[in-house]
Structure 1
C-alpha cells in the first residue's frame, strides 16, 4: 500500500488545480469543493494501485462522480446571476465571469467536454477515456458545446475557433 504521505503530498500540491477544474464542471464553488473531496475520498482505497499519472486518475473520478450526481438529480441546475468573488490573475475579469456564466449554461456533458478539452487542454482520446465515451462523441459534444457558447456569448461563428476558455486559466 502506498504511504499516506504520498497521498497527502499529492493533495497538497494539486488541490487548487483540481478545484479549478471541478468549479468549471459544476459551476459552483461549494459544489466544486465537495466534488473534489468526494473524488479524493474514492481514490484513497485505490491509491496504491494507481500507476502513471495520479492526477488524470483523480480527474477521471471527478468527472464520473459529477456525471453520477447529475444523473441522480435529473433536475436543472440553478445558476446564480453573479459568481462569488475569487482571486483574479489577469485583467479580463468581466470576460472571465461572462465565460463562466456561459459554461454554466451548457448541459453537463458538453460542459465536461469543453472544460477538459479546452481549459485543461486534454487530447480528444484522453477526454473520451475520462468520460467513458468514443472520440466521436467527444468531437460532437465539443462542437455542440462551442456552438452554444458562441450563442450564449454573442460571438460570431466566423471568428477564430481557438480555445474558448483560454481566459479562464490564471
Structure 2
C-alpha cells in the first residue's frame, strides 16, 4: 500500500470513530449500557469509573484490527488495511482520552481554555452533563462539538417537552 492509501485509511477510520463513539454514547451508554456509564454522570471520589470499561472495548476493537492485519497472527490470510484501521482506532482513543478525560474532566491535567475550539468542546460536554439520568441530553460526540448556543436551545426544548430533567438553569 502507498503512504497516501495508508494515510487515507487511518484518517477515515479516525473520523468514522467519532460517529461510532457518538452513536455508542447515545444509544448504548445512555441506553442498555447505562450501568457502566452512570457513575460518569454522578459525583464520586474514585480514580476509576465503571465507565472506563468502555475504553477497554475500544482497545479490543483496535487490537482486533491489528491482529487481522498482522501476518504474524494470520499469516498469508492477513488483511493489511486492518493494521491501519487499528491505528486509526488507537489514535482516536488517544485523542479521546486527552480531550475527554484530560481536558474536559481534568483527570490528568488542569487547564481551562478561555477561547477557541477547546473552550467549545468543554462547554458542549458540560451541557451533556446538564441532564439528570440517561434520558434526553445533547452533545454525545467527543472530538467534534456543536455550537453551545444551539445545544442550550435543544436542552431547553427537551426540558419543556418533559424529555430531559436539566440539572441547572441554561441562561
TM-score of the aligned structures, taking structure 2 as reference length: 0.27
TM-score of the aligned structures, taking structure 1 as reference length: 0.28
